[in-house]
Structure 1
Amino acid sequence: MDLFQQTSYSEQGIPVYTSSAPLAVRMRPTSVAEVVGQSHLLEPASPLRRLLEPQGSAGQVSSIIFYGPPGTGKTTLAYLVATASQRNFVEVSAVSAGVKEVRAVIKEAREQLRATGKQTVLFVDEVHRFSKSQQDALLPAVENSWVILVAATTENPAFSIVSPLLSRSLLLTLNPLTKQDVIELSRRALLDKRGLDGKVTASEEVLGSLADLGGADARKTLTLLEAAAEGALAQNRSAISIDDVSLAADAAVVKYDRDDHYDVISAFIKSMRGSDVDATLHYLARMIEGGEDPRFIARRIMICASEDVGMADPKALEVAVAAAQAVQMVGMPEGRIILAQAAIAVATAPKSNASYLGIEAAIKDVRAGKSDGVPAPLRDSHYPGASKLGVSGYKYAHDYPHHIVKQTYLPASLVGTQYYHPSDNGYEETVSKRLRGIRTILANGKDEQK
């Protein structure tokens, strides 16, 4: 649907949408009072509040980057900045604009500022899609206040925005809308003249279902509401039903972008580590439905099986490795069952990070330079003349009781160092008892344990 054919523009350059525009667009707030869910950004004297004051009445204002999930009001707040402050407004989409277009906008804004003293709000939607050179092109205008940049991104700015631009702007984080926020927006759309104007009604159950399907995304929820309303009206009904909602949304589209990739996999690993099997399955389902590579998921399960379960249940790693191989052979969607089995095995296994801590401690010593010569008896002796170089004296463990013999294995500077400290969880309790006997023999030449 081409919105440009459905819009006119205010004096500031703000789009004014006609009745044929989508419901989510028509219901875009036209005042701060209509904004839902972002009260933390609209406190008196806050940077955003100052931007919403008429130009010249609130002193110097900074450029702003809005960061938050889709449908939380980033574009709306950008429009309100321009309309409430009576500044000029220019919108650029990072999807289609290049450096040439950006520089042209900045040049015009600079000329306007010089001629009239009126600032321009430059709104860049999806700024994370700009390349580094495109973002760099914004720097002079931001630094010299030729424009007030208001940029919106759904991706973590630390990863997607160049540091110079980020440091010259205020970063404002929009919170996900709550279910009640989204329900309130739907109620408003049902009655508002800009919206459905009372032509249809919806029960609390229907509103709740719409909110669940739309998640924290107001735009998606209102799009579903409009489709469900059209379905009801097409059948000469004024009440939207659950079936209308179901038909409007064949399946809820799972939000899963780059930030979700990092956050959800982190939650998945921490849930397995924390032995919460239900949370483990929830995050696994989100990754599967979000299109995450099953091989990546399998690798994370294998790592967790070793790092967080370790010797408390050595078989957990065997299950994880087998699952990774099985997923490659079977593929998806059946592979989801195999991944679930492996994740459950790791989540419910006894836990120990002793193996992880042991290798980390050993690496720390090596990096600190504690890696002097290998003891002579342990050096390679499979070459003529080895004995003349002092490579002798090795004691073959299988010739001694318990197949253990006292001799120096660690380099001289590390003799007596213990890296591995087994827990008393699961199988590692057995390992711990056996290790005490081993270390006694290695230190004293005999097993003194009773």
Structure 2
Amino acid sequence: MNSADLGRRVGVPSTALFTDQYELTMVQAALKAGTADRRSVFEAFTRRLPEGRRYGVVAGTGRVLDAVENFHFDDEMLAFLRDQRIVDGQTVDWLADYRFSGDIWGYPEGEVYFPGSPLLRVEGSFAECVLLETVILSVLNHDSAIAAAASRMSAAASGRRLIEMGARRTHELSAVASARAAYIGGFHSTSDLAAGFRYNIPTVGTSAHAFTLLHDSERDAFQAQVDSLGRGTTLLVDTYDVAEAVRTAVEIAGPELGAVRIDSGDLLLVAHRVRQQLDELGATETKIVVTSDLDEYAIASLAAAPVDTYGVGTQLVTGSGHPTCSMVYKLVARARSADPADPVLPVAKKSLGAKSSRGGRKWAARRLDEYGVAEAEVIGTGEVPQELADRQLLVELVRGGEVVAREPLEAARERHTAARAGLPMSAMQLSRGEPVLPTEYV
């Protein structure tokens, strides 16, 4: 596979300081106590889905692998840690040689998940695993939130095309990650060129209202765009009068006009009027693109409208009201030494309330009903029941510190389509409700 298939990773900087200080101070204390090398198992999971969501979507796994691979401390970073007295000299020396050498298993990217699902299992020494907590969670929490919103919008669109166009509504680096996650969740293209360059996502874009306002008339603007981009371009028709703009657009481009974009007004009503007008003018193949603060509910409300493509920005890159998945990264098992023969024993937080956790290295499988539809997320420790052996969800991602599971972004996108199709039909409902699958512990 070439770099375009897997995403361009050239020039990726170190991710070692994408961490919280207490992870380094824990390493320092563990080194002093002689416990830093104890074999440990950490798991990333969420205790609940965002309110009203029926399923979650795993996204960011590929970026996590990049982050782990590039997690190392250079001389400038080590000098910073030393000069600011964040950790002592012994710890700085230990960090200078840091490279993750353990194993990582996880749900493959694009898979769906539910409360308690062990989305990522990280195994190695305590010190090398605990350092990865923040970078893993920051990637998975953000990307999975965007992918879940994208998935809901994709389901609401019912096969119509979706454009991610939220770069101006978020941090510039978050915009690239959001476009990637949206593509996994079912979007077809992005307006963000950095995302297109890095991840080979199809990019689209023509003009904004500023281009129309630049010219002495709307006709001049349309003519200039068609002369430059061809008759198959998309013309923005709501700067002034929509009906007049559509008429002018077809006069200039002819029936070969690619599309018109509507960015304001009552989109349902305007789309119907524009479709009728385009057909009367002979532009029966011209598509209609709608934008303007869309979310999954607005997309669903336009199901009866003659819309071909939706452009979504703010609501997508903010997770449509849920910008994080509240995933956590917890120690679930550890040995009493670094000896590989020393078994890892379950450990768990036992605090009162909703923040307790379940100990033990876990497996996960999805049980199907007699019709082949998913009916439960089954999680356990120890032996996997024979009837679930071929339904296990975790796959090997890193072995002995080496990434073993890179894949094209298209694979994650296709996996999500298949995973969502395997859920009960109620998973597609936008109304508030409980997770569509129960989580069963065995």
TM range (shorter): under 0.3
Name the structure, 1 or 2, with higher relative contact order (CA <8 Å, separation 6+). 2
Point out the structure with the larger helix share: 1
Which has the greater radius of gyration? Answer: 1
